[in-house]
Amino acid sequence: MLDLLVNIKNFVLSIFQGINKGLNRLVDLVPETFTEFKNLKTRFLNLESTNFENAEEHLRKGNINDAILRLNIIKKLIAPQKSMQANYYLAWCYFLKGNIEKSLSYLRISSDLDEYDLASYLLEPNPQSIPEDIIGHYKHLSPAIYQDKFENSQTSLHIIAAEMLLSSLRELPANAELLDLGAGVGMNGEALRLVLPHKDYDLTAVENATNMCYAINHTRCYNSIVHKSIENFLCSNKSKYHGIIALGSLSFTQDLYWYLKKIHNALENRGACILVFKIGDETKLDVSRINFVYLQKDLEEVMLKAKLKIKETKLKSLKADETYFLISCTAG
Protein backbone atom coordinates (compact mmCIF):
# COMPACT_ATOMS: atom_id res chain seq x y z
CA MET A 1 0.00 0.00 0.00
CA LEU A 2 2.84 2.31 0.91
CA ASP A 3 4.54 1.59 -2.41
CA LEU A 4 1.34 2.48 -4.24
CA LEU A 5 1.12 5.84 -2.47
CA VAL A 6 4.77 6.55 -3.26
CA ASN A 7 4.19 5.74 -6.91
CA ILE A 8 1.13 8.00 -7.03
CA LYS A 9 3.12 10.80 -5.40
CA ASN A 10 5.97 10.40 -7.86
CA PHE A 11 3.52 10.35 -10.76
CA VAL A 12 1.83 13.56 -9.61
CA LEU A 13 5.22 15.21 -9.05
CA SER A 14 6.33 14.21 -12.53
CA ILE A 15 3.19 15.79 -13.98
CA PHE A 16 3.84 19.05 -12.12
CA GLN A 17 7.50 18.98 -13.15
CA GLY A 18 6.44 18.50 -16.77
CA ILE A 19 4.00 21.38 -16.53
CA ASN A 20 6.69 23.54 -14.94
CA LYS A 21 9.18 22.69 -17.68
CA GLY A 22 6.54 23.44 -20.29
CA LEU A 23 5.76 26.79 -18.71
CA ASN A 24 9.45 27.63 -18.50
CA ARG A 25 9.88 26.68 -22.15
CA LEU A 26 6.87 28.82 -23.08
CA VAL A 27 8.36 31.75 -21.21
CA ASP A 28 11.63 31.19 -23.06
CA LEU A 29 9.81 31.05 -26.38
CA VAL A 30 7.99 34.36 -25.93
CA PRO A 31 11.03 36.58 -26.59
CA GLU A 32 12.12 34.24 -29.41
CA THR A 33 8.68 34.47 -31.00
CA PHE A 34 8.62 38.23 -30.50
CA THR A 35 12.05 38.47 -32.12
CA GLU A 36 10.86 36.37 -35.05
CA PHE A 37 7.86 38.64 -35.49
CA LYS A 38 10.16 41.67 -35.40
CA ASN A 39 12.48 40.08 -37.94
CA LEU A 40 9.53 39.18 -40.16
CA LYS A 41 8.22 42.73 -39.96
CA THR A 42 11.68 44.09 -40.77
CA ARG A 43 11.95 41.80 -43.78
CA PHE A 44 8.57 42.98 -45.04
CA LEU A 45 9.53 46.62 -44.51
CA ASN A 46 12.79 46.02 -46.35
CA LEU A 47 10.89 44.31 -49.14
CA GLU A 48 8.55 47.29 -49.36
CA SER A 49 11.46 49.74 -49.37
CA THR A 50 13.36 47.66 -51.92
CA ASN A 51 10.41 47.61 -54.30
CA PHE A 52 9.96 51.39 -54.07
CA GLU A 53 13.68 51.81 -54.74
CA ASN A 54 13.49 49.36 -57.64
CA ALA A 55 10.54 51.27 -59.08
CA GLU A 56 12.52 54.52 -58.95
CA GLU A 57 15.53 52.82 -60.50
CA HIS A 58 13.41 51.46 -63.35
CA LEU A 59 12.08 54.97 -63.97
CA ARG A 60 15.59 56.41 -64.06
CA LYS A 61 16.54 53.79 -66.63
CA GLY A 62 13.42 54.44 -68.71
CA ASN A 63 11.77 51.09 -67.88
CA ILE A 64 8.39 52.58 -67.03
CA ASN A 65 6.41 49.34 -67.40
CA ASP A 66 8.75 47.58 -64.95
CA ALA A 67 8.28 50.43 -62.49
CA ILE A 68 4.50 50.07 -62.80
CA LEU A 69 4.80 46.33 -62.09
CA ARG A 70 6.85 46.97 -58.92
CA LEU A 71 4.36 49.55 -57.67
CA ASN A 72 1.43 47.21 -58.22
CA ILE A 73 3.27 44.49 -56.27
CA ILE A 74 3.61 46.92 -53.36
CA LYS A 75 -0.08 47.82 -53.54
CA LYS A 76 -1.50 44.32 -53.80
CA LEU A 77 0.95 42.01 -52.06
CA ILE A 78 3.56 43.65 -49.87
CA ALA A 79 2.21 46.84 -48.32
CA PRO A 80 -1.44 47.61 -49.08
CA GLN A 81 -1.25 50.32 -46.41
CA LYS A 82 1.17 52.17 -48.70
CA SER A 83 -1.21 52.06 -51.65
CA MET A 84 -1.67 55.84 -51.69
CA GLN A 85 2.07 56.39 -52.07
CA ALA A 86 2.20 53.71 -54.77
CA ASN A 87 -0.76 55.32 -56.53
CA TYR A 88 1.03 58.67 -56.58
CA TYR A 89 4.09 57.06 -58.14
CA LEU A 90 1.80 55.37 -60.67
CA ALA A 91 0.31 58.75 -61.57
CA TRP A 92 3.79 59.99 -62.51
CA CYS A 93 4.54 56.77 -64.38
CA TYR A 94 1.53 57.25 -66.61
CA PHE A 95 2.34 60.94 -67.05
CA LEU A 96 5.79 59.87 -68.26
CA LYS A 97 4.08 57.47 -70.68
CA GLY A 98 1.87 60.29 -71.95
CA ASN A 99 -1.32 58.66 -70.68
CA ILE A 100 -2.91 61.74 -69.13
CA GLU A 101 -6.29 60.17 -68.30
CA LYS A 102 -4.75 57.27 -66.42
CA SER A 103 -2.37 59.61 -64.62
CA LEU A 104 -5.35 61.66 -63.46
CA SER A 105 -7.20 58.55 -62.29
CA TYR A 106 -4.32 57.73 -59.92
CA LEU A 107 -3.95 61.35 -58.83
CA ARG A 108 -7.61 61.39 -57.75
CA ILE A 109 -6.93 58.61 -55.23
CA SER A 110 -3.62 60.03 -54.01
CA SER A 111 -4.44 63.74 -53.95
CA ASP A 112 -3.05 64.24 -50.44
CA LEU A 113 0.44 63.45 -51.75
CA ASP A 114 0.30 65.69 -54.83
CA GLU A 115 2.99 68.14 -53.70
CA TYR A 116 3.56 69.44 -57.24
CA ASP A 117 -0.17 69.95 -57.89
CA LEU A 118 0.16 67.83 -61.01
CA ALA A 119 -3.59 67.17 -61.14
CA SER A 120 -4.44 70.87 -61.41
CA TYR A 121 -1.95 71.30 -64.22
CA LEU A 122 -3.23 68.28 -66.15
CA LEU A 123 -6.82 69.48 -65.77
CA GLU A 124 -6.08 73.05 -66.87
CA PRO A 125 -7.61 73.40 -70.35
CA ASN A 126 -5.16 75.87 -71.89
CA PRO A 127 -2.00 76.43 -69.83
CA GLN A 128 0.41 79.05 -71.12
CA SER A 129 3.40 77.44 -69.43
CA ILE A 130 4.42 74.30 -67.58
CA PRO A 131 5.27 74.82 -63.88
CA GLU A 132 9.00 74.52 -63.33
CA ASP A 133 8.53 72.16 -60.36
CA ILE A 134 6.64 69.73 -62.59
CA ILE A 135 9.30 69.91 -65.30
CA GLY A 136 12.04 69.46 -62.72
CA HIS A 137 10.42 66.40 -61.16
CA TYR A 138 9.55 64.93 -64.56
CA LYS A 139 13.20 65.18 -65.61
CA HIS A 140 14.41 63.99 -62.21
CA LEU A 141 12.36 60.79 -62.56
CA SER A 142 13.28 60.12 -66.17
CA PRO A 143 16.87 60.99 -67.11
CA ALA A 144 17.05 57.97 -69.45
CA ILE A 145 14.35 59.48 -71.67
CA TYR A 146 16.74 62.31 -72.47
CA GLN A 147 19.55 60.00 -73.60
CA ASP A 148 18.04 59.72 -77.08
CA LYS A 149 15.29 62.34 -77.02
CA PHE A 150 17.09 64.53 -79.56
CA GLU A 151 18.74 61.94 -81.78
CA ASN A 152 18.17 58.81 -83.81
CA SER A 153 20.50 56.40 -85.59
CA GLN A 154 21.20 58.92 -88.38
CA THR A 155 20.89 62.33 -86.74
CA SER A 156 22.04 63.95 -83.51
CA LEU A 157 20.70 67.41 -82.80
CA HIS A 158 23.41 67.73 -80.16
CA ILE A 159 26.17 67.40 -82.77
CA ILE A 160 24.37 69.66 -85.26
CA ALA A 161 23.86 72.34 -82.59
CA ALA A 162 27.53 72.17 -81.58
CA GLU A 163 28.62 72.48 -85.22
CA MET A 164 26.28 75.42 -85.78
CA LEU A 165 27.68 77.16 -82.72
CA LEU A 166 31.24 76.73 -83.94
CA SER A 167 30.26 77.98 -87.39
CA SER A 168 28.53 81.04 -85.93
CA LEU A 169 31.48 81.95 -83.75
CA ARG A 170 33.91 81.40 -86.66
CA GLU A 171 36.81 81.45 -84.27
CA LEU A 172 36.40 80.53 -80.63
CA PRO A 173 37.98 83.26 -78.49
CA ALA A 174 40.67 82.28 -76.01
CA ASN A 175 39.15 81.25 -72.68
CA ALA A 176 35.66 81.43 -74.16
CA GLU A 177 32.67 81.10 -71.84
CA LEU A 178 29.97 78.73 -73.10
CA LEU A 179 26.58 78.05 -71.51
CA ASP A 180 24.39 74.96 -71.84
CA LEU A 181 20.98 76.21 -70.75
CA GLY A 182 18.84 73.29 -69.58
CA ALA A 183 21.64 70.78 -70.05
CA GLY A 184 19.61 67.59 -69.56
CA VAL A 185 21.99 64.65 -69.13
CA GLY A 186 24.97 66.50 -70.57
CA MET A 187 24.89 65.36 -74.19
CA ASN A 188 25.44 68.89 -75.49
CA GLY A 189 28.65 68.99 -73.47
CA GLU A 190 29.80 65.72 -74.99
CA ALA A 191 28.97 67.02 -78.47
CA LEU A 192 30.88 70.26 -77.86
CA ARG A 193 33.94 68.37 -76.65
CA LEU A 194 33.74 66.21 -79.78
CA VAL A 195 33.31 69.13 -82.18
CA LEU A 196 35.74 71.41 -80.34
CA PRO A 197 38.57 69.11 -79.21
CA HIS A 198 41.65 70.63 -77.61
CA LYS A 199 39.93 74.00 -77.36
CA ASP A 200 40.32 76.10 -74.26
CA TYR A 201 36.84 77.09 -73.13
CA ASP A 202 34.79 77.08 -69.95
CA LEU A 203 31.48 75.23 -70.19
CA THR A 204 28.69 75.82 -67.65
CA ALA A 205 25.58 73.65 -67.35
CA VAL A 206 22.29 74.93 -65.96
CA GLU A 207 19.90 72.18 -64.90
CA ASN A 208 17.10 71.96 -62.34
CA ALA A 209 16.67 68.17 -62.02
CA THR A 210 18.88 66.45 -59.44
CA ASN A 211 19.33 63.17 -61.32
CA MET A 212 20.18 65.14 -64.46
CA CYS A 213 22.91 66.98 -62.54
CA TYR A 214 24.39 63.62 -61.49
CA ALA A 215 24.46 62.56 -65.15
CA ILE A 216 26.02 65.87 -66.22
CA ASN A 217 28.74 65.52 -63.61
CA HIS A 218 29.42 61.97 -64.80
CA THR A 219 30.24 63.20 -68.34
CA ARG A 220 33.17 65.27 -67.03
CA CYS A 221 32.56 67.68 -69.92
CA TYR A 222 31.54 70.69 -67.84
CA ASN A 223 33.58 73.08 -65.75
CA SER A 224 30.63 73.94 -63.52
CA ILE A 225 27.03 72.89 -62.92
CA VAL A 226 24.37 75.34 -61.72
CA HIS A 227 21.50 73.47 -60.06
CA LYS A 228 18.73 75.95 -60.83
CA SER A 229 15.74 76.35 -63.08
CA ILE A 230 16.34 78.32 -66.27
CA GLU A 231 14.10 81.12 -65.04
CA ASN A 232 15.90 81.46 -61.71
CA PHE A 233 19.28 81.36 -63.40
CA LEU A 234 18.40 84.03 -65.96
CA CYS A 235 16.89 86.24 -63.25
CA SER A 236 20.14 86.34 -61.29
CA ASN A 237 22.73 85.94 -64.05
CA LYS A 238 25.26 88.74 -64.46
CA SER A 239 27.76 86.89 -66.65
CA LYS A 240 28.32 87.21 -70.39
CA TYR A 241 28.84 84.21 -72.66
CA HIS A 242 30.44 83.77 -76.05
CA GLY A 243 28.11 80.89 -76.88
CA ILE A 244 24.80 79.62 -75.53
CA ILE A 245 22.92 76.43 -76.41
CA ALA A 246 19.29 75.83 -75.45
CA LEU A 247 18.32 72.54 -77.08
CA GLY A 248 14.60 72.05 -76.50
CA SER A 249 14.98 73.42 -73.00
CA LEU A 250 12.86 76.57 -73.44
CA SER A 251 9.80 74.65 -74.61
CA PHE A 252 8.04 74.89 -71.25
CA THR A 253 6.36 78.17 -72.17
CA GLN A 254 4.24 79.53 -74.97
CA ASP A 255 5.56 83.06 -74.47
CA LEU A 256 9.30 82.96 -75.16
CA TYR A 257 9.99 86.69 -75.28
CA TRP A 258 11.23 87.19 -71.70
CA TYR A 259 13.61 84.23 -71.92
CA LEU A 260 14.97 85.22 -75.32
CA LYS A 261 15.53 88.78 -74.14
CA LYS A 262 17.48 87.49 -71.15
CA ILE A 263 19.56 85.28 -73.47
CA HIS A 264 20.21 88.31 -75.68
CA ASN A 265 21.46 90.22 -72.63
CA ALA A 266 23.70 87.31 -71.60
CA LEU A 267 25.56 87.20 -74.93
CA GLU A 268 28.90 88.86 -75.56
CA ASN A 269 28.94 91.38 -78.41
CA ARG A 270 30.12 88.81 -80.92
CA GLY A 271 28.50 85.90 -79.17
CA ALA A 272 26.10 83.41 -80.70
CA CYS A 273 23.33 81.18 -79.44
CA ILE A 274 21.77 78.03 -80.84
CA LEU A 275 18.10 77.53 -80.03
CA VAL A 276 16.17 74.37 -80.86
CA PHE A 277 12.39 73.99 -80.86
CA LYS A 278 9.93 71.33 -81.93
CA ILE A 279 7.64 72.82 -84.56
CA GLY A 280 4.09 72.14 -85.69
CA ASP A 281 1.21 73.71 -87.56
CA GLU A 282 0.47 76.05 -84.65
CA THR A 283 1.98 77.14 -81.35
CA LYS A 284 0.36 75.00 -78.68
CA LEU A 285 0.94 72.61 -75.81
CA ASP A 286 2.04 69.20 -77.03
CA VAL A 287 -0.31 66.27 -76.41
CA SER A 288 2.20 64.91 -73.86
CA ARG A 289 1.73 68.16 -71.87
CA ILE A 290 5.45 68.28 -71.09
CA ASN A 291 6.50 70.70 -73.85
CA PHE A 292 5.12 73.19 -76.34
CA VAL A 293 5.40 72.96 -80.11
CA TYR A 294 5.72 76.15 -82.12
CA LEU A 295 4.75 77.57 -85.47
CA GLN A 296 7.99 78.43 -87.26
CA LYS A 297 6.74 81.91 -88.14
CA ASP A 298 5.96 82.62 -84.46
CA LEU A 299 9.53 81.71 -83.53
CA GLU A 300 11.02 83.99 -86.16
CA GLU A 301 8.84 86.88 -85.02
CA VAL A 302 9.69 86.53 -81.33
CA MET A 303 13.41 86.34 -82.20
CA LEU A 304 13.10 89.65 -84.00
CA LYS A 305 11.20 91.16 -81.08
CA ALA A 306 13.94 90.04 -78.66
CA LYS A 307 16.58 91.58 -80.99
CA LEU A 308 18.22 88.26 -81.75
CA LYS A 309 19.52 88.28 -85.31
CA ILE A 310 19.00 84.99 -87.13
CA LYS A 311 22.12 83.87 -89.01
CA GLU A 312 21.26 80.31 -89.99
CA THR A 313 18.37 77.87 -89.62
CA LYS A 314 17.95 74.15 -90.16
CA LEU A 315 15.00 71.78 -90.11
CA LYS A 316 15.65 68.25 -88.89
CA SER A 317 13.18 65.39 -88.50
CA LEU A 318 13.84 62.64 -85.98
CA LYS A 319 10.52 60.85 -86.53
CA ALA A 320 7.74 61.09 -89.08
CA ASP A 321 5.75 63.45 -86.86
CA GLU A 322 8.66 65.16 -85.09
CA THR A 323 10.48 68.07 -86.73
CA TYR A 324 12.89 70.43 -85.00
CA PHE A 325 13.82 73.97 -85.97
CA LEU A 326 17.45 74.84 -85.19
CA ILE A 327 18.25 78.54 -85.11
CA SER A 328 21.67 80.15 -84.96
CA CYS A 329 21.47 83.77 -83.89
CA THR A 330 23.56 86.60 -82.50
CA ALA A 331 22.89 89.60 -80.32
CA GLY A 332 22.68 91.77 -83.43
pLDDT tens digits, one per residue of 48-102: 567 778 888 888 888 999 999 989 888 877 666 678 889 999 999 999 999 999 9
pLDDT of amino acid 14: 56
pLDDT above 90 (res 169): no
pLDDT of amino acid 27: 47
| Chain segment 97-112, per-residue pLDDT in tens | 999 999 999 999 999 9
CB atoms within 10 A of CB 80: 10
pLDDT above 60 (res 123): yes
| Chain segment 192-241, per-residue pLDDT in tens | 999 987 678 999 999 999 999 999 999 999 999 999 999 999 999 999 99
| Chain segment 305-326, per-residue pLDDT in tens | 999 999 999 999 998 889 999 9
**Domains along the sequence of the chain with CATH:** 1-123 (1.25.40.10), 145-330 (3.40.50.150)
Model pTM score: 0.82
CB atoms within 10 A of CB 231: 16
Inter-residue long-range contacts of 81-86, CB under 8 Å, 24+ positions, other chains counted: 82/48, 84/109, 84/110, 84/112, 84/113, 85/52, 85/110, 85/113, 86/52
